[in-house]
Structure 1
Amino acid sequence: MPLDFKLSFTQNAYIYLLAFLIVPLLVFYKSIIFSTKTYNTEFLSKPLTDCIKGLCITVIILHHIALRIQPPKLMLPYTFFGHLAVSIFFFLSGYGLTMSKLQKNNYLNNFFSKRLTKVYLPFILVNAITLIFALSLFNSKFSLIQILLYLSGLNLIDSTQWFVISILLFYIVFYLCFKFLNAEAAPKVILIYSFVYFFTLILFRFGEWWYNTAFCFPIGVYIALNYDKFISFIKRNYAFFSTLALICFAVTFYLGHFVPSVFSIILNTISSVCFVFVMLCFLFKVKITSKPLFFIGGIAYEIYLIHMKIFILYFNCIKIKGSYTVYIYLALVILVSFLFNKLFKLMRKPILTSNNKIQNM
């Protein structure tokens, strides 16, 4: 499928409105801002993290759109924002898995069936649908081996889906570490794996986006394991720590993206880590209560899986030159993602029910 085609609108006013006014309004509208020496101690609660997921997947969509607008003009900043949103997803994955492990004694039982049905099974189904569209609409030709490779994800028919493969590898490492190691050794091994993952992908010349956010996963693990200590530290040192995180992020982000250097990969990786701490400091003072972001966050994975497929189909078929067409595209993405979300839940239910019956026998 042609993922690299370019967009050219007669004017970009509507997408500017979305990126620089509507998205910030969604973040701050009805949000609770905490005063001096008061903090949002529920800054990583499920409702709030769902809002953050909604924000991050919106940024990722705008990032992919910005990369294809020629010239990007004012959307240029969004061409650099993709790895920042992904860094939050990696962090929340590590944090969420670890907190679930700490709160549920039998969490690792049926771990793979839960993860695979929630992550991998939808991935395979969407790949199958993508292949059907590629064969029927774009006259693509695939051998049987290619079809199997694309279905499984060993080859990516949609290059933006690399995150699925990456996070599944982290899931496997997480399971093995917490299944066979103690709570002290497990996060250290996960961190070591992150370094191995990072340098291996550099060695084999993978795209930078595959690995410049990898260290955010073990950060999530460490913060979950040391949650009370982290909260206490932030309360005592909020001004210093938030300022330091912001400065480090700003410097590394600028140098990594705007100053040509052989160290740009390292700088972008550091900026991803720093951004996680900037976001945590932000959430420690701002409680986001946006219902639209909460809703979008609830179907964020489905949006991630299908947004580029709909992008290709929509912008190949609809020849509207005004940038307001992006709103129609987004509405379509949300609607289809919502329907897929319902479908995937129906598909998971009998599998998980069967596993629970076997476990209780």
Structure 2
Amino acid sequence: MIAFYIGILILCFWKIKFSKKDFYNDFLQRDQCDSIKGIFILFVFVRHILQYIIGSGYDFSAMPDQLFVKIDRELDQLIVVMFLFYSGYGIMESIFKKKADYVKNMPLKRILPTILNFDVAVLAFFILNQFIGKEMTISEVLLSFTGWDSIGNSNWYIFVIVLCYAIVWLSFFITTKAQVLNPKRALVFASFLFIIALVTLALTKKEWWYNTIFAFDAGLLFSYFKEKLVPTLQKNYAFAFTASTIAFIALHLLHNRIPSPLFNLECIVFALCVILATMKVKIKNQALLWLGAHLFPLYIYQRLAMIALSRVDDGAFVKNNPLVYMLICCVIMILIAIPYRFIRISFNK
């Protein structure tokens, strides 16, 4: 199965460009952000499908398979950090561009479509469960439509991202006076609400629900301080890159010795490392760009094929053909994402 990671590595280096002297100033443009997200959605795919391969009873004793699992465990929740960071950055950039109108329309044009599109996916999982005979309680089904529970679908990330959207909207809504934004005050208030959200989720949910949430806040703040921060980082690039890399390695080595909420700090440093790397590295890869641009359907529908195929021959198909299982699920995931734009709910027009 390590062959799948090799495939990801090949994709990462296909049409990649390096700059020795200058910087790529489009490192936060949509195409570059989508390309980076394209890399990490493949790691998310691996994380999710590994659960079903393990459940099939597949023997991971071979060294390449042990390495496969080791890589996944080391990546941990870092695989979703850039999704959150770029989302926070993108929303803040939109607020700067469209001002109070964007904040006013966030509930209708950003929050509600995300919830409704997620609920369509939950309905698809409900139908699948009816076909395969999976038992579901009424509370599980109802709470699944909010993202608080799951009937087999991925849910925690959607719940958290909607929560982040709501925090941004509320923070700017409260601090905006007479259609005049107060970004500084709004961001302070938002950071306070993120702390409350972290504590609440820490008391009620597993650690992956809250240990990356501040990556979103970091994206907001990076956008706010970008005009001063980016030139400073580029002027002191060697020091910034070295220091952030050392800090990340140190935090990663201490990961199991510090409280899980502090994993947020490692996530922020990781995001900074990626940002610094993309100042010098440009990805001109249409495959990764497409994957990142179709992040939502790729993320939210990928488990459909995983669940359905994991039932073939009572799991024997997965156990005996894990790589084939991965490839088939990957193809089905992509085929679902291609027509997604025709069913996507949007109120932007």
TM-score, with length taken from structure 1: 0.85
Distance in 2 of aligned mates of 1:224 and 1:194: 17
Post-superposition Cα deviations, 1:282-321, rounded to whole Å, max 9, x if no partner, equal: 1111011111001111111111111122211122227152
SS in 1 for 2:28: coil
Which residue is equivalent to 2:11?
Answer: 26
* Pick aligned residue for 1:167 from 161, 164, 168: 161
Post-superposition Cα deviations, 1:7-37, rounded to whole Å, max 9, x if no partner, equal: xxxxxxxx31221x2212212221121113x
1:15-164 matches, cutoff 5 A: 15-19=1-5, 21-36=6-21, 38-67=22-51, 68-69=53-54, 71=60, 73-75=66-68, 76-105=70-99, 106-143=101-138, 145-158=139-152, 160-164=154-158
Post-superposition Cα deviations, 1:224-271, rounded to whole Å, max 9, x if no partner, equal: 1121112111111111111111111112112214xxx3x241553322
Q: Contact conserved, 1:32 with 1:288, CA < 8 A, in 2? A: yes
1:319-338 matches, cutoff 5 A: 319=317, 321-325=320-324, 326-338=326-338
Q: Contact conserved, 1:253 with 1:267, CA < 8 A, in 2? A: no
SS in 2 for 1:65: helix
Which residue is equivalent to 2:188?
Answer: 188
1:73 maps to a residue whose letter is: Q
1:204-215 matches, cutoff 5 A: 204=204, 206-215=205-214
* Pick aligned residue for 2:279 from 279, 284, 288: 284
Distance in 1 of aligned mates of 2:295 and 2:76: 15
Post-superposition Cα deviations, 1:337-361, rounded to whole Å, max 9, x if no partner, equal: 22223321xx42xx444xxxxxxxx
For this pair of structures, how many residues does the alignment match? Answer: 327
Q: Contact conserved, 2:207 with 2:261, CA < 8 A, in 1? A: no
Residue 82 of structure 1 and its aligned partner are, at CA, apart by 4.0
Residue 173 of structure 1 and its aligned partner are, at CA, apart by 1.1
Q: Which runs of 5+ in 2 are unaligned?
A: 176-181
| Stretch of structure 1 that moved more, 217-226 or 60-69 | 60-69
Distance in 2 of aligned mates of 1:324 and 1:139: 25
SS in 2 for 1:160: coil
Which residue is equivalent to 2:233?
Answer: 234
1:39 maps to a residue whose letter is: F
SS in 1 for 2:103: coil
Q: Contact conserved, 2:201 with 2:210, CA < 8 A, in 1? A: yes
Distance in 1 of aligned mates of 2:208 and 2:81: 10
Residue 118 of structure 1 and its aligned partner are, at CA, apart by 3.6
- Structure 1 residue ranges (4+ consecutive) displaced by more than 4 angstroms after TM superposition: none
Post-superposition Cα deviations, 1:69-96, rounded to whole Å, max 9, x if no partner, equal: 4535111121332411211111111100
SS in 1 for 2:254: helix
Distance in 1 of aligned mates of 2:174 and 2:36: 32
Distance in 1 of aligned mates of 2:321 and 2:148: 38
Post-superposition Cα deviations, 1:38-76, rounded to whole Å, max 9, x if no partner, equal: 111110101111111111111111122345445351111
| Stretch of structure 1 that moved more, 174-183 or 212-221 | 174-183
Distance in 2 of aligned mates of 1:60 and 1:328: 16
Residue 117 of structure 1 and its aligned partner are, at CA, apart by 4.7
SS in 2 for 1:32: strand
* Pick aligned residue for 1:275 from 270, 276, 282: 270
CA RMSD of aligned residues (A): 1.9
Q: Contact conserved, 2:298 with 2:333, CA < 8 A, in 1? A: yes
Residue 102 of structure 1 and its aligned partner are, at CA, apart by 0.6
TM-score, with length taken from structure 2: 0.88
Distance in 1 of aligned mates of 2:330 and 2:255: 30
Identity of aligned residues (%): 24
